[in-house]
Amino acid sequence: MAAALRILLLTHSFNGLAQRLFAELAADGHEASVEFDIADSVTEEAVALFAPDVIVAPFLKRAVPESIWRRHLTLIVHPGIVGDRGPSALDWAIQEGEASWGVTVLQAEAEMDAGPVWASREFPLRAASKADVYRNETTTGALAAVREALARVPEWRAGRWQPRPLAQIADARGRLRPSMRQAERALDWARMGSAEILARIRAADGFPGVADALFGQPCHLFDAHPGQRPAGCEDAAPGTLLARRDGALLRATADGAVWIGHVRRADSPHPFKLPATFAFAAEVAEATEAAALSKLPATLMAPAGADPAALGYRELAYRETDDGALGVLSFEFYNGAMSTAQCRHLLAAIGFARGRPTRVLVLDGGAGFWSNGIHLNTIEAAPSPADESWANIEAIDDVCLALLGLSDRITVAALRGNAGAGGCFLALACDRVWAREGVVMNPHYKNMGNLFGSEYWSYLLPRRVGEDAARVIMRNRLPLLARQAAAQGLIDDCFGADRADFAAQVEARARALADDPGLAARIADKARRRAADEAEKPLAAYRAAELDMMRRNFYGFDPSYHVARYHFVLKSPQSWTPRRLARHRELGWRARAASAA
Ligand code: COA
């Protein structure tokens, strides 16, 4: 490991990349603290308090003040290749179909993103949304590049190493590009084919979306997927809405169709991202009534011999290995948020899987997120957010209960992506929990306005880590790396260098479980343990106690949860850095730091 450094993470918000760096750098032995980029004077104060060896800025929306970078080494993580400059790095790369892209760590100077280069990484650019690439390849590359840069700090201080000024990097492919405007994102449905429309919406996902219109109403589009025109719609004019499935709408392009999963209607009382059919509920109902919009049923399991890809966009997918020993249930819920309806669909899918004669059932969630618990946006948009919170928590609890009740086979939660709040505890309802290297878990609720939480966490968490560790995890409210979670016994294992490697290893390990001659004994053991636990304290009692506390969160006199949810959904700017992150603001940390040194 490189020399331990005192690192201030200066960031617009504690986003996934900032969480990963914070947890990884601390695990590397550095002392990391976080300050949100709120105002120059606040940053100056943080720097004065913490006296960092280096400031690392993983996610900023404005330039670092000169008063900081002139006096303190400040490294910026830019989500672009060497030489790329500007605030829409990934947007341009995705929209223009770059074959490869990258991430650069550079030193802050007067011109934004133009300082000397400390380290960089490149990767092949997948056809995926900006948010998905950012959470995966960009985050992995950023961590490697930041580690490389930090290892150079002592040499740089000693004058033995210098970062490369951009002007001297002859092979720098990147260039200065402006902020991408909506005019450059605009969709021409009459002329553009599906590939171009997909690229444009993906380049703008999760923010800012592409300004367009549905049902004649202005809105921003997100969450686009390839589609096919259904039978009878071959001649529909481009731009026509053809069908709906789950929360998504199928729209004709010049050469086919695309699914639009989410929209934001700025002109509505709920100006935040919602499932498309939810945001346009009245229009969808009217069009369906007039037989102008058909509901296309989703197929959960592809018929034998059929190509699953031909089934098109669907949130839930179930498949089995050829010998039928292993079932795999995926749930691709946008942003990992699970609404009441989505929980009920998932419950039905688990019911279907239960009826199949498999020995092991793998729940591999979504590629981006495994789950982030109840759907705070649909709750916020409901006529009564309290009632909808209640319905949603009951629905997700039912999913947990169904998993806990799968007594005739082994269940595995395979976390391809991050999991947060109720989504973490949902995973713990499985017999085995495996996570990909680099996955970040947030196994706590209190950041959402002191939410007590349900999902049988009061049974599942102590069962895995013991009462004391459970209390610490819940109280710390910090992101936990998958390998730390495995070391603590919160999950069973962490492996797989990337998504493909993880998927291959999950299948091999699940197969080994299914083929293990000791499987029957394992299943019997599981049933025995569950029965013993039930005799000691029934699951219904855990649920009732949790829901009793949740009732206070939803309907009680303290509105903290409703206030926190509102700010989360509306993405209100941060006005201060929480103390659990801004360690330099803890009273007495200096004394502790000095005695530890
Ligand atoms: N409901 C609705 N949307 C959610 C969500 C939820 N439960 N959890 C995350 N999202 C959305 C975010 O709003 C964001 O939307 P965007 O596409 O408009 O940017 C997106 O998912 C990614 O979330 P973000 O917060 O940027 O990801 P992160 O990696 O920085 O942080 C979490 C992950 C889980 C820590 C954070 O998203 C979070 O606290 N989520 C809420 C969890 C929760 O309290 N659930 C309810 C109790 S069970």
Supply the mean pLDDT for the chain: 95
Q: Is the dihedral of CA 280, 282, 285, 288 positive or negative?
A: negative
Distance 156 CA to ligand 1 centre (A): 38
* pLDDT, position 586: 84
What's the confidence (pLDDT) of residue 535? 98
Domains 6-167 and 182-295 share a fold: yes
pLDDT for the residue 263: 98
What pLDDT is recorded for position 310?
78
Ligand 1 atom closest to the CA of 454, numbered from 1? 48
Confirm if 259 and 250 have CB atoms less than 8 A apart: yes
Pick the CATH number of 315-555 from 3.90.226.10, 3.40.50.2020, 3.40.50.1220, 1.10.10.10: 3.90.226.10
pLDDT band at 52 (very low <50, low <70, confident <90, very high): very high
How far, in Å, is the centroid of ligand 1 from the Cα of 372?
A: 6
Q: Which atom of ligand 1 is nearest to the CA of 393?
A: 48
Ligand 1 atom having least distance to the Cα of 571: 13
221, 335, 394: which to mutate for ligand 1, most atoms within 8 A of CB? 335
Q: Which residues contact 270 (CB under 8 A, 6 or more apart)?
A: 279, 380, 381
Residue 170 confidence (pLDDT): 87
Categorize the per-residue pLDDT at 56 as very low, low, confident or very high, splitting at 50, 70 and 90: very high
Is residue 594 predicted with pLDDT exceeding 80? no
Residues 318/329, Cβ–Cβ less than 8 Å: yes
pLDDT score for 1: 59
Sign of CA dihedral 225, 226, 228, 229: positive
CB neighbourhood size of 467 (10 A): 10
> 374 CA to middle of ligand 1, Å?
10
pLDDT tens digits along 546-558:
999 999 999 999 9
pLDDT at 597: 57
Contact 431, 453 (CB under 8 A): no
> Looking at the predicted structure, is the pLDDT value of residue 591 above 90?
no
Q: Please, what sign has the CA dihedral across residues 52, 54, 57, 61?
A: positive
* Residue whose pair of structure tokens reads 């380049």 in the numeric block: 203
Residues with CB under 6 A from ligand 1: 15-16, 131, 206-207, 273, 335-337, 372-377, 418, 420-422, 442, 445, 447-448, 451
Pick the CATH number of 182-295 from 2.40.50.140, 3.40.50.12230, 3.40.50.2300, 3.30.43.10: 3.40.50.12230
CA angle (353 as vertex; 527, 432 as ends), nearest 5: 50
* Residue boundaries of the structural domains of the chain: 6-167, 182-295, 315-555
Mean pLDDT value across residues 528-548: 97
pLDDT of residue 2: 66
pLDDT at 524: 96
Give the pLDDT score at 224: 97
**Model confidence at 512: pLDDT above 80:** yes
* Positions of E strands within 474-546: 480-481, 493-495
- 308/310 Cα distance (integer angstroms): 5
In the prediction, which pLDDT does 595 show?
A: 67
pLDDT at 110: 79
- CA-nearest residue, atom 41 of ligand 1: 372
Mean local confidence (pLDDT), 389-398: 98
Distances (CA, A) of 264 to 208, 273, 335, 354, 388: 10, 4, 15, 37, 20
Residue 592 has pLDDT above 90, yes or no: no
Q: How far is the CA of 508 from the centre of ligand 1 (A)?
A: 31
Q: Which CATH superfamily is domain 6-167 in?
A: Formyl transferase, N-terminal domain (3.40.50.170)
Inform me whether the pLDDT recorded for 135 exceeds 90. Answer: yes
Q: Residue 23: how many CB atoms within 10 A of its CB?
A: 20
Q: What is the pTM of this model?
A: 0.96
Q: What is the DSSP string of 411-458?
A: EEEEESSEEETHHHHHHHTSSEEEEETT-EEE---TTTTT----TTHH
Q: Is the pLDDT of residue 206 over 70?
A: yes
The tens digit of pLDDT for each residue in 482-492 reads: 999 999 999 99
Closest CA to 38 of 531, 538, 594, 576: 576
Percent of the chain with pLDDT over 90: 90
Could you tell me which of 539, 371, 551 has the C-alpha nearest to residue 443? Answer: 371
How far is the centre of ligand 1, averaged over its atoms, from the C-alpha of 335 (Å)?
Answer: 7
